[in-house]
Structure 1
């Protein structure tokens, strides 16, 4: 009689533990979905059109000392845009095209004219 009662109690405990585990998984999934929405709101979409002036990130600068040196080179002109973030750039001083990933580019800011 004692074994049957202990067995029933243990099964009840295991069912309760399983329901707590499933609830934790569900809460984790909901939290991740909310965090993804918040993260995606802060992502700035980079869309470049042919003719835009952009700066190119130089990731090899760490080989050259100088911490005040800018890591951005340019301006370059976007000649062609292909799917999946591939861009062809041209430098004003040369005629050859450079093929780069869009993650290495940023738009050139236009300076505002100040009234004096």
Structure 2
């Protein structure tokens, strides 16, 4: 048996493996593009206006126990809307801060009820 005859089947198998890897890469990149397109369709684009009342998502609330605590704080007043989704908020004390627009949602209550004081009754005292 000649040396070239023994090496040729191995080279063919290596070439087949390379083609298989390239095809798998193409398929996975096509899959990723389709998934990105699907995900981008599901994202809701919110238009916030100056003067709207919004609630702010509190992501640090996980440190405290209690399933019934709301993860949304506020309401806050929108004072300025910047490009790329940045929003400047104003709280009750007059402090202003900027947040990402994806962390807020429109407050559906009335402006008068936004500043009402809610009485809290612990369950162990009732």
TM-score, structure 1 normalization: 0.78
Where does the alignment leave 5 or more consecutive residues of structure 2 unmatched? 111-126
Per the TM alignment, residue 58 of structure 1 is displaced from its structure 2 partner at its CA by 2.2
Indicate the larger mover: 72-81 or 40-49: 40-49
Judged with a 3 Å threshold, the aligned counterparts in structure 2 of structure 1 residues 24 and 56 are, in CA distance, closer, same or farther, namely same
Residue of structure 2 equivalent to 1:54? 54
Per the TM alignment, residue 52 of structure 1 is displaced from its structure 2 partner at its CA by 1.5
User: Size of the alignment, in residue pairs?
Assistant: 110
Residue of structure 1 equivalent to 2:101? 102
Residue of structure 2 equivalent to 1:114? none
Per the TM alignment, residue 30 of structure 1 is displaced from its structure 2 partner at its CA by 0.9
Per the TM alignment, residue 81 of structure 1 is displaced from its structure 2 partner at its CA by 1.3
- CA deviation profile, 1:28-71 (whole Å, cap 9, x unmatched): 11111111111111111233121221101223334444321212
TM-score, structure 2 normalization: 0.73
Residue of structure 2 equivalent to 1:41? 41
Find runs of 4+ consecutive structure 1 residues off by over 6 angstroms: none
Where does the alignment leave 5 or more consecutive residues of structure 1 unmatched? 112-116
Judged with a 3 Å threshold, the aligned counterparts in structure 2 of structure 1 residues 51 and 18 are, in CA distance, closer, same or farther, namely same
RMSD: 2.2
